Structure 1
């Protein structure tokens, strides 16, 4: 579709020439559409994920005077607070928008502007990086197809929608930049993009660590195959070391100076500095023999891996470092942490379709590539995409990254298919066939087929649970708790804690954050154990009231795991003398009680995290 300067190819050349302005315009239109679509949810502060709610609470605490390096959430498990492993980096755009707009519209509206607008910043970064990649590997005008296909990547798209203010969209934007660096034919610039984007991502969190390692391995193997890639590897190594060091110094919280494995702590900083230093030395030595270069990389990897195992053996298992009890009671039940094959088909097929299409497209593009830069670029994209697809069989939370990394391959497949029809003499054939190609490669047909065939529909029980989850998270429901009680500590479900502190003046005992296993287990075991266990743990954390959300997803785990336990008995209508009902509005989805410790029997047990 290149090399011709008449007909549709004139349009292609014009799109290529003005791609930056056109891409910015397309992103602006997309962002405007998302804001309009989600405006009602923005007004109601409908932060749908626990992480988004905790992020807003964290930003508020910082703006209200909490220290830059103090990321503890003191309204969870007061007074010590929750140890949160996050970084301040994603707080910056949210806080910036609040500070800029609050003098004009007040704090409440400023927060809504921030939660609506902040996710659109990483959206811009991700799409511009993808456009850059596709222009280098496919064609100068092919980025427009990438943007269309992006809107069909539902798992990825949801991460960039207004209200998704947590850090995952920034990490996906970094992944897009890493891909752009791998595809960049300019070696020093490409190496810098890979190194800095990897360091930035790791400074935010370790979720993308496997992809950062994969990017480093691909960069090293390119040097093994082609000695001219030494410059890319050197710059990558230096920027990785410098970026991680700066990221740790500027953003590591007080708690992240401990030798933990779940964030950019001294453990992973040492590993990144050692890896970057070894790669830089190897690239500077730059032996002429390919096998010697491979041996140097293998030696460096072996030394670093062995040293890591000797110095940090506690990091060789799961990075969360949680107990077996917490794994069994909580972490193993987290839906995102399960492999793709443990999910229903209605979720598997739409999630995996684009990655499969992308791998096919990347393979065909590699086979057809006719320049050195495109060959090595497509090798990198194909390896990255295949790796991301395989990650789905570890945890389904890899879905957004797998879809994102599939977009260059999907774009190439569509571009090749469109080349077969754009020169057809009949316009209706060009239009019809072109539309069919775009819709097919975008995978949009899959969701339609699943809906029409009613594949693996959710049960009535699942629908009831979903309804309870929605109703108990509603802002109007939450704010009724402010009118019912002065600020106090409520003993409630783990997954309800972040929403409670983000939307009310109350505090909670726990949230779904792994560093705080004792608090999580205290809540789980209180609901699954005896009334005495509940009272002991409620007293330990200073709770004055008990708040439940009947049929919320977490409550089904209590009842399934502990029939006859405290929550199961409550759900069956049993009354307890130490629980005094507190009236709530008639349509409230909650049940609320005051805990009357004086009416409780003498407790034979102490606060415990065992049933």
Structure 2
């Protein structure tokens, strides 16, 4: 059998393993009835992505990213990418054409899209583990990786947000780079994946930069074959960035610099970095010696730095540096995924174990590899990404999604080594050690232990219901049914009700948990934290027809505590001003509705 045939056979085997790992996850969700489709669990982004796709299918322009039903009149421009909307919309169009039901098509898309991404991520994890530690690491990578990906939650049914595709692309880029010395097109495809990561969202900028810097460093140090890898990676990265820029940015916006979304800033940086790397790798005098390679790449880095400092200095500030202090205090500081490791240590030690245990073990394993000597190309790539992901996760918890996934690769190698020892020895001690290695490598074990510990030592009720099925946190579709039956109007509601109201009704809202919706969020705060008279002014000036209240929401309680004499606090105490009247049938419901009296 030829080498090409061997490669194809291995690919088929890895795909089969990924599918086998995906089917149990899908079956578990199916047996549960896909509850996420009617209960978003408080994930506003998944719901708003669905709204964005619906708007596009309803003829909103490809380049028009306004969310017209959120914020002040006219809405605001979202920072998301159409690259994620397009495949979801394609699934809905195809299934609608086959079944004639748009609602059923949406449900299929909400299940199929994250399932496909789950399968692809497991596949690339297996490929990366094979390149890192050989064939024996593939099975552990599939088992440990599938368990980790399932329990981090970003691949659940209904997960339409972009974090899952970002993780898949990052694992694909890493896997392809690990294969690049053996497979010629791999480096080009890795650069393409890195460019798409950046285009989908700026959260992955640290990982894109790490991958690019690793490619450049390996080339600079002069390892065999790295010149062609650097050239192809650079071409793929710059090329796809140019295509994305033309395909997703309106020509009228080509000169606009946006720091939080793919725009001329990211395109210029990607074009210079990618073409510069490819040029240095292609021009023989520039790459002839190590000193020349280092000097050439150093000049490229200086050029990139100068471009950013001189042309886009605003993008050097912290992501939320200019956010209104009230929004920082009452919104950003309470977003779970935006908290730091140190805050989590103080407030939720069990959560630290669930999110950081396996990445820490993987870091120790990589450090031991470094200490033993024989550091390899594969170690540099995996180690760099793991370290950066862990640093990001220490800054914001959301980074743990990536560190948990990258940790699977060294953990799979560790398990593979102990499996080989167990096969070579009949010792009971070796078998027990192998079992222990398996257990501590599975993130779900740590998550379960952390959850059990949390329950044992915390008797407070932090669930989304009261134990009797009541939707206290207002997360279920059914809780918005009454609102959905009312004629369309503007609804005054807290920010965490914004996306559900848009997804489950035809109304519009002011507030939503998005950093670009500053004016709408501040207006809602003015109404809720102010007096009844202040709220009445907002209602009259902005033609509000309904007020929606979720008494059990943590956000409602936070705002009521912030302004005990305010409009929202009064509503929660049952003090309804004369210009409002309860909507029949909603008193005492999860979402209580109040209609603005005409003429008041």
Q: When the two structures are superposed, what TM-score results if normalisation uses the length of structure 1?
A: 0.88
Tell me the equivalent position of 2:524: 523
User: What aligned pairs does 1:203-222 form with structure 2 within 5 A after superposition?
Assistant: 203-222=199-218
1:149-548 to structure 2, matched below 5 A, reads 149-153=144-148, 157-184=152-179, 185-186=181-182, 188-226=184-222, 228=224, 229-252=226-249, 257=254, 258-285=256-283, 286-319=286-319, 322-325=322-325, 326-343=327-344, 344-365=348-369, 375-425=376-426, 434-454=434-454, 457-458=457-458, 460=460, 462-463=462-463, 471-483=473-485, 485-548=486-549
1:102 is aligned, of 67, 89, 96, to 96
Question: Which sections of structure 2, spanning at least 5 residues, go unmatched?
Answer: 1-8
User: In 2, distance between residues paired with 1:459 and 1:105?
Assistant: 49
Distance 1:391 1:54, change over 3 A: same
1:64 matched residue in structure 2: 58
Q: Give the Å deviation of 1:591.
A: 1.9
Gaps of 5+ in 1: 1-14, 600-611
Count, aligned residues: 581
User: Structure 2 length as normaliser, TM-score?
Assistant: 0.89
The 1:261/1:389 distance shift into structure 2, 3 A limit, reads same
1:31-61 deviation digits (Å, cap 9, x = unpaired): 5324425524155364641011011111111
8 Å Cα contact 2:484-2:504 kept in structure 1: no
Q: Is the 8 A contact 1:70 1:254 kept in 2?
A: no
The within-5 A match list for 1:102-121 is 102-103=96-97, 104=99, 106-121=101-116
Quote how far apart the aligned CAs of 1:126 are. 1.2
Residue 89 (structure 1) aligned with residue 83 (structure 2): yes
**Which of these residues, 121, 124, 131, is aligned with residue 126 of structure 2?**
131
Pairing 1:39-50 to 2, within 5 Å after superposition:
39-41=33-35, 44=38, 46=40, 48-50=42-44
Q: Matches of 2:593 and 2:491 in 1, distance apart?
A: 9
SS at match of 1:546: strand
SS in 2 for 1:208: helix
Cα gap change, 1:23/1:515 in structure 2, threshold over 3 Å: closer, same or farther?
Answer: same
CA distance, structure 2, for counterparts of residue 561 and residue 155 of structure 1: 37
Find the residue that maps to 1:89 and give its secondary structure: helix
Equivalent positions of 1:513-592 (< 5 A) are 513-585=514-586, 588-592=589-593
| Cα pair distance change 1:241/1:435, threshold 3 Å | same
Q: Which string of whole-angstrom CA distances, capped at 9 and with x for unpartnered residues, describes residues 555-580 of structure 1?
A: 12212332322212322332312122
Alpha-carbon distance in 1 for matches of 2:232, 2:472: 48
Aligned to 1:515, the other structure's residue is in SS state coil
Per the alignment, in what secondary structure is the counterpart of residue 118 of structure 1? helix
- Tell me how far apart the structure 2 counterparts of residues 444 and 323 of structure 1 sit (CA, whole Å): 36
Q: CA shift at 1:514, angstroms?
A: 1.2
Given that 2:206 and 2:388 are in contact with CA atoms closer than 8 Å, whether structure 1 keeps it comes out as no
- Aligned residue for 2:491, secondary structure, equals strand
Partners of 1:348 and 1:316 lie apart in 2 by: 30
The Cα of 1:255 is off from its aligned counterpart by 9.1
Determine if contact 1:156/1:400 at 8 Å carries over to the other structure.
Answer: no
Change (3 A) 1:18 1:577: closer
Q: Is the 8 Å Cα contact of residues 339 and 396 (structure 1) preserved in structure 2? A: yes
- Give matches, 1:21-40, under 5 Å: 22-40=16-34
The alpha carbon displacement at 1:27 in A equals 3.7
1:218-263 per-residue CA deviation (whole Å, 9 max, x = no partner) reads: 1111011125412111111111111111111112368964322101
What is the CA–CA distance in structure 2 between the aligned matches of 1:255 and 1:34, rounded to whole Å? 47
Alpha-carbon separation, structure 1, partners of 2:143 and 2:118: 14
Moved more, 260-269 or 416-425: 416-425
Contact map agreement 2:473 2:552 (CA 8 A) in 1: no
